[in-house]
Structure 1
């Protein structure tokens, strides 16, 4: 467990301890990635994550990658991947490497990289950092119930860790269903975050002394990886230098740093940004239509205005005007000005920026201005009829 102070992240879960240091910036070429799952349609928070990764890569003369994390087939939504590609291109966030583009570190869909993930899972087993678990779901459920009744932590009891290596290998070779678990250390390593400084973690030792071990699953019984393993292996092999993502992923970071250490790899820079919230400091609501990028596009908002809007949610600048093109944002972007804590979304700001971007686009003329005219005509017709 680790904790961020309330003044920095008022509504965050109590999982981080913050040590103040200046944020880091770098001018060396950054290789960043946006790695969504095709389980839904692009929302404002994801657009902001993609944009920040894009700006960091372009600001430093690096590369922006797109990687599809599609190993959870049960949650995959038909058409979501295609919609994702189209929405990113509409926003002007064209990836340098990824699906439909290619690149030297492909394939760029995680489901097509399972052989690599399995190879690294076996490596962790060989080095003693992971082990095969043959426990049935029924046993795990009964274990959790029994431990809860005894007022004990309900994590795994590490039964399968005691299985001899030769027996484990033979049972797996015979086709017995199993998962691969990480052997959690008594103390996960801390790490430096560009926005939040040095983050440290409480020990697992007390839970371990009670026979409770988190030991997260790295490889599922179907041979596909979980987020933890795939994320680390793919980022390393794609030579990602900066991982920029929302703070909701910060609790996973110690596991990832530990995995980097297990493999003997150098972790990337971590850049965590706060969550987007409504005026009541709750989650943005699908019911209120303030989540999906496609809905803003349908309402006639310009990509330039929406990019400008989400860029200012957790990032500041030193210019006199907030109105910026994508090119302006690339030139001004600096990780030192990413702000800690969650951000309340003020949608009036979007309307303000929309007016300025519409004015500039219409003034410039051309196809973009014609498109705006067509949208206005359509909206007027839908509101007042054709007469």
Structure 2
């Protein structure tokens, strides 16, 4: 385990209940839990259920079943699905998200967009120039981004990375057409609300990290820049595609129901990573993974 991971207070496991958790999720959880253990950080369980069309009770329950089955710990947040629904759902923090949206609107940092998904695929959004009223029906709200200024991301090892907002994140959505806040906004507000100072996520979310830094800057949440990020490579299948929650054979639920033990699950991930040593726990998996990523 890298010696650079020290003196963090809180990290988080933040799954979305849009499908049954798969082996790629487990790898990310294992890395998060191992780094928390080594750095003394507490782990927050934060379930991102703002996508109301896809969040289902069976997927929420699967999160708890998976964490308990694999003995992955957490210290803050709901202990079961009932407590999550009663006290920890993002629906209970809608007022915080709305305050952030109102702040951006009052600062004239948002514009309305009525583009369909097909229009966005075929052409870049041009609604910025149309001055569509924010009250227009079926309109999402987008952040007016500064696409040229440099964003600074603090790494896990105390160093910084510098980048500009990628083209596909220009003027990203902060409020969806259904009037619910979008992922980038809820993630920033939640991480600030819970005082998270270390975030572990896959490389596929690098663009989201940059978008969230841009949003935090627009909101004046300068302390967001002090959060350390660790972006890890993804677990892939036989044809080098990242795992999907629709791929049932790699779901922990499928493996558990077919008699696999936690050690079997960790060993399966290890083999996918070409790790040949016996693996029986999340900490062993993470240790071997880091050694593989950072050979002596």
TM over 0.5: yes
Matched, 1:323 2:266: no
Query: How far is the alpha carbon of 1:309 from its aligned partner?
Result: 5.0
- Against the structure 1 CA distance between its residues 334 and 278, is the aligned structure 2 distance closer, same or farther, given a 3 Å change threshold? closer
Cα offset, 1:44, TM superposition: 0.4
State the match for 2:143 in structure 1: 182
The CA deviation at 1:91 is: 0.8
Q: Distance in 2 between matches of 1:45 and 1:91?
A: 14
Write out aligned runs for 1:1-387 (5 A).
Answer: 25-100=4-79, 107-128=87-108, 130-133=109-112, 135=113, 137=114, 140-141=115-116, 144=119, 153-159=123-129, 172=135, 178-187=139-148, 189-194=151-156, 198-201=161-164, 214-262=170-218, 263-266=220-223, 267=225, 268-284=227-243, 290-307=249-266, 310=269, 322-326=277-281, 329=284, 333=287, 337=291, 339=293
Query: How many Å apart are 1:197 and its aligned residue?
Result: 6.9
Residue correspondences, number: 285
Against the structure 1 CA distance between its residues 48 and 255, is the aligned structure 2 distance closer, same or farther, given a 3 Å change threshold? same
Change (3 A) 1:142 1:229: closer
RMSD: 3.9
**TM-score normalised by structure 2 residue count:** 0.78
- CA distance in structure 2 between the aligned counterparts of 1:122 and 1:258, rounded to whole angstroms: 17
Structure 2 gap ranges (5+): none
Larger RCO: Structure 1 or Structure 2 (Cα < 8 Å, ≥ 6 residues apart)?
Answer: 2
Give the Å deviation of 1:200: 2.1
TM-score for both structures, normalised by structure 1: 0.62
| Residues 19-56 of structure 1 deviation map (CA, whole Å, 9 limit, x = unaligned) | xxxx8822113411111111111100111111211111
In structure 2, C-alpha distance between the alignment counterparts of 1:300 and 1:69, rounded to whole Å: 29
Q: Please say which structure displays the higher CA radius of gyration.
A: 1
Return the alpha-carbon distance in structure 2 between the equivalents of residues 34 and 81 of structure 1: 13
CA drift of 1:325 comes to: 4.5
Contact 1:69–1:110 (Cα < 8 Å) also in 2: yes
